[in-house]
Structure 1
């Protein structure tokens, strides 16, 4: 067995139907595939679809994998990129005989500028919080941890976490009070 490809042994086990190997391979490769898909597609849901389809192809073709032709990681990323390009082509290929006769009901062009300004203000207010309050807010609101999980990650009790969240939210509300529309 060629040891130059760190994924070869795992891929052999996937081909043999080893569920632990499948889980290990997904755990090892999924974050980078999602990142690639997100950057290529600009959409998290499509990035997940691309990653899922790439893993389906791995499982279908694992038994036929030929070591030494290309590194598995290179092949997997090529598969994911090809899936992205296929999806991007499908987006472009929607051809209409005539332009639609409807009013664009999307946000006004200046809404993007307002959203960017709001994002900067929220980010600055978040950065102004004491470290532990900011950590609690980020874990619970941005990383979507539950209170028990966030408290464990911070090494505090759930009650202490809730106190940090309460103080952080009050400070953010006060810092951003002028942004609330009447």
Structure 2
């Protein structure tokens, strides 16, 4: 059964860790950790990564605990499948261990690299035929006087989820990073490896699609509650 983000099994990443090479490297989706060229002050992640480069398993566990929930939340929003989201996050975090020592301290934030890898892996998984079956668990309707209002909210939320799923992958990811993860356009551009102007265009087209289809469909929903 799929665990919620706060209950992901951190023990998955506990000692003893597999030796280097024990997991199949998939470097086609794994940018080199030192590729980000902007120098910046060191932070806690850099300190942990420096220890991880020395095969410090406790430091690796701390790094996982710092980032696993947000990485899982991002993967889940893109994939809408808990099991697939867990696979992406666990694979990505384990690759940090198998590629330990390649991080260059003082460059762009580790979280930018992490979100980039998670996003790329999610998009790769969405392109596979088996990723088309997405699990959506139904909510239980509350049998209270305001149940009709709650049902309407449920319908609108389902509609938003459905329309987000219909967006092209790049538009969808840009909207998720902007609205759910509160990244700036510049940060999104770095994660998606594109320009700020390209991100602005993706967000604009995504918003236009959602506004158009949500307005049309919500009118139908409202009408369904007023018809005799």
Instruction: Give TM-score scaled by structure 2 length.
Output: 0.40
Higher relative contact order (CA 8 A, sep 6+): 2
> TM-score when scaled to structure 1?
0.50
